[in-house]
Amino acid sequence: MYVSRIVLKALGVDDFGIYSVVGSIVTMLSFMTSALSTTTQRFISYELGNKTTKGLVKLFSMAVNVHIILAVLILFVSEIIGVWVINTKLNIPVDRLDAALIVFHLSLFTVFVNIVITPYNAAIISYERMGVVAWLSIIESLFKLSGAFYLAYNSDIDNLILYASTLALISVFIKLLNIVYCHCFLKDIYFKLIWEHSLFRSLLIFSGWSLWGGLAYVLMVHGVNILINIFFGPVVNAARAIANQVQGAVLQFSSSFQMAMNPQIVKNFAISDFTQMKQIVIYGAKYTYFLLLMLIVPVIIETELILKLWLGEFPEYTIIFVRLMLLVVLIESLSNTLMVAMQATGRIALYQTVVGGILILNLPLSYFFLSSGYPPYITIIIGFALSCFTLVIRLLFLRNIISLDIKDFFYKVIVKIFLVTAISILGPTFIHHNVDDDFIRLFSVFSSSTVMILIMIYFVGLEKLEQKFLYDKIKMIQHKFKRDN
């Protein structure tokens, strides 16, 4: 978050917006990365769930082969399409066009490396080495902070080009660390020159349907960013980019928890333990929401003050962008375990067709409303509505495939999170409207919302068995602390 403040000040609003929209092109054209990562994680976790590691080397090597082939393909297609879009479609000042093209090429190189090395990261997650993922994330953040400070004091090189170059180098270095870790600590994960047509076909078919879902999501998020650039220019792109930074920081708060659940869902499906699988899906959705709620409530209430303290000055629409995007994060958190469960079943053709078809509607709907004179934040409202709809669709699919009880999900998750949210926001909202001093109000809102949410989670959000489990854990920790002292 602090890095963004330094970068925004060093680049200026226009260049920050240019980087955001050019990066969106690369992300939109490289939607394959997340889809392929999901595919690799699913297959590796399935093998580990069956307690069979004999085929892991072959599986992993074939996954790398698939990634290399698709990385070359995406590099070729992206160079042609991306340059054309930047030169003819985007609203970029003429004197910054050359810099924008250099940023595009650097970003595309980063994407190429990321795709090739994706199987290594997927393997680390499948083996549930979340500590490694966390440490790599910390190292990456420290490098980015150092790069931002260097950017702030640079006067010799174009700051936009320097920023893109720095991020490219950091990203490639972190990805290489993934390879080093796998070769040193995961004995069944290494690349071997091998080719098996049947396995290649299985990986390609599964990832092909995942790619459609990934493309739909990317168009929903980053395609809209390009529409905003066309209708409003790079300054509004900068506002959306700042909101994306806030959204990303909030998502990091729950990412480790989410990643820890994903392999367990797949492994339980692999051994046909559907009861345990459904428990993880239902309770995982609820706990992920509660984790995010603790951070999102005070940020939504005090968005303006937080942005002033963080950035000083910020573009128009930033406040509404941040608030709406955080609401989208909350609703999408309920779908995370459902998506992993669908991937685990392997029956994703119809699912991805339907869900992807719904998500991709965001682009034409956004174009219609923007061309009709609506403000830019209408795109996020549309995205929120579509996310609610796809949540229902995912529940219906899982009811048919693994007999997930929708009524059970409704009462154990939806009703409880609604009550916890509705009651928890009352105290912090009252403080926001009745305390004048900025710092006292900010501290009071954060502390009161945390206390209120924790109390409401315990007494309203948890069932009796969950309350007992939590109570026993707290007593055990207290006993251990007293014994050690």
- Give 79-93 pLDDT, tens digit per residue: 888 888 888 877 788
The C-alpha atoms of residue 437 and residue 131 are separated, in whole angstroms, by 40
Q: Do 18 and 103 form a contact (C-beta atoms < 8 A)?
A: yes
Which residue numbers in the chain have pLDDT < 70? 1-5, 8, 23-33, 51-54, 154-155, 479-485
Instruction: Give the pLDDT score at 461.
Output: 92
**Per-residue tokens: 164:** 């893109």
Instruction: Give the pLDDT score at 162.
Output: 83
Instruction: Give the other-Cβ count within 10 Å of 185's Cβ.
Output: 12
Instruction: Give the pLDDT score at 53.
Output: 63
Q: Where are the beta strands (DSSP E) in 350-464?
A: none
Instruction: Give the pLDDT score at 481.
Output: 65
Q: Do 66 and 200 form a contact (C-beta atoms < 8 A)?
A: yes
Nearest partner of 11 among 230, 169, 166, 225, judged by Cα:
166
Instruction: Give the pLDDT score at 234.
Output: 82
The C-alpha atoms of residue 457 and residue 451 are separated, in whole angstroms, by 10
Name the DSSP letter for residue 63. Answer: H
The C-alpha atoms of residue 282 and residue 286 are separated, in whole angstroms, by 7
The C-alpha atoms of residue 214 and residue 354 are separated, in whole angstroms, by 13
**Per-residue tokens: 478:** 């207290």
pTM (predicted TM-score): 0.78
Nearest partner of 4 among 377, 254, 307, judged by Cα:
307
Alpha-carbon dihedral angle through residues 348, 354, 359, 363, given to the nearest 10 degrees: 130
Instruction: Give the pLDDT score at 315.
Output: 86
Instruction: Give the other-Cβ count within 10 Å of 272's Cβ.
Output: 9
The C-alpha atoms of residue 475 and residue 470 are separated, in whole angstroms, by 9
Task: Determine phi and psi for 195, rounding to 5 degrees.
Answer: -145, 125
Place of tokens 């706990």: 287
Contacts of 76 (CB under 8 A, 6+ apart): none
Q: Rg of the chain over CA atoms, in angstroms?
A: 23
**Per-residue tokens: 331:** 């609703």
Name the DSSP letter for residue 271. Answer: T
Instruction: Give the pLDDT score at 338.
Output: 95
Nearest partner of 8 among 143, 160, 113, 137, judged by Cα:
160
> Which amino acid does the sequence have at 245?
Q
Collapse the DSSP code of 138 into the 3-class scheme (helix H, G, I; strand E, B; otherwise coil) and give the result: helix
